[in-house]
Amino acid sequence: IHGFHGNQFLNISRQRTSNLDSLFNITIENNTFYRFGGNGTSVRNFIEFTNHMGGVAMNVNINNNLFYKNWEYRSDRFKNFRLHLFNAKDSVHATKIKVDVLNNFFYEDSVMFAAGFDRNLPLTNTSSYTYTGYKAFTKDSLNVTTRLFVDEAKADTTMDLEMYTQSPLMTAGLGGKPIGDPRWYTNTTTPPLWTALTTVKPSSLIVWSNNGLIYLHNAQKPVTIFNVLGQRVGIFTAEQATQGINVKGKGIYLLRTDNETVRVMVR
């Protein structure tokens, strides 16, 4: 899944059923979610039930997935990050609901959660049951010191997500399986050290691009622009940033000002 920035990711609107033995099986495993969500005008859900489901049994398995960066970083926008399920009808119904969220890798650490929650893919809209199993990996917890993607600049703008077979993620999934889509693990060379720019965090800066120009809303101080390889494009005045900066090339750029960093796509 590359560059998803739509509404709810998986929405189920069905309410109840006449079949007393009904069972929902939702399995989302070994996917690479690259630049996923982050631009919702209200809170968005990864899985959403819009109605309660009576006594219907349900198995949810979200395992061995790689979540890598958000599509957009703005303090006034929201991610597709919640497991917005439903409360059990009663204690018996609660025993019929199983939710496993295991061995998923999240970068940045907050790629799938927001303020007010304590984990990625938080379980919401229910107080009658919790995860059957939950285990999350991050860059630090898995001690990842080398790059995951062979060419991240290319991965940002294309579907070329080639990864290294020597990456720790290759065997960190359940049962020693890869995390993410195993088809991308094709490069057998030794991966270089992870020396990317400081992790981009949600920012109060409002940045956009139009007709090849980058604009920074109400810029007050000089702006430094880098490409995704960490190479400095230039230092620009606040006036230039407000009127539009021509970086003379399409792609992902990082703007740094006032100790904040924000990313923008120039098309």
* Inside any domain, residue 5: no
Confidence (pLDDT) at 17: 65
110 and 229 in one domain? no
Could you tell me if 62 and 174 lie in one domain? yes
Residues 211, 143 share a domain? no
Q: Same domain, yes or no, for 98 and 215?
A: no
- The answer on 234 and 139 residing in a single domain is no
Look at residue 125 and tell me if it is in a domain.
yes
Tell me the two tokens of residue 252.
Answer: 């992902």
On whether residue 195 sits in a domain, the answer given is no
- Report the number of distinct structural domains present in the chain: 2
Decide if 196 is inside a domain: no
Same domain, 58 and 182: yes
CA-nearest of 57, 60, 25 to 46 is 60
Domain C-terminal end among 187, 219, 249:
187
3-state secondary structure of 91: helix
What local confidence, expressed as pLDDT, does residue 20 receive? 63
Q: What is the residue range of 112's domain?
A: 10-187
157 and 259 housed in the same domain: no
Structural domain includes residue 24: yes
Residues 182 and 211 in one domain: no
Q: Do residues 135 and 227 both lie within one domain? A: no
- Domain membership of residue 44 (yes or no) is yes
pLDDT tens for each residue of the chain, 267 residues long: 998 988 899 998 876 666 667 888 999 999 999 999 988 888 899 999 988 887 889 999 999 999 999 988 877 888 999 999 999 988 999 999 999 999 999 999 889 998 788 899 999 989 999 999 999 999 999 999 999 999 988 888 888 899 999 999 999 999 999 999 999 999 999 999 987 544 444 455 678 888 889 988 777 888 889 887 778 899 999 889 889 999 888 888 888 876 677 788 887
Angle CA 132–71–86, to nearest 5: 30
pLDDT at 94: 92
pLDDT at 238: 87
Long-range Cβ contacts of 182-191 (<8 Å, 24+ apart): 182/30, 184/32, 186/162, 187/150, 187/162, 187/163, 188/164, 189/164, 190/146, 190/164, 190/166, 191/146, 191/147, 191/148, 191/164, 191/166, 191/167
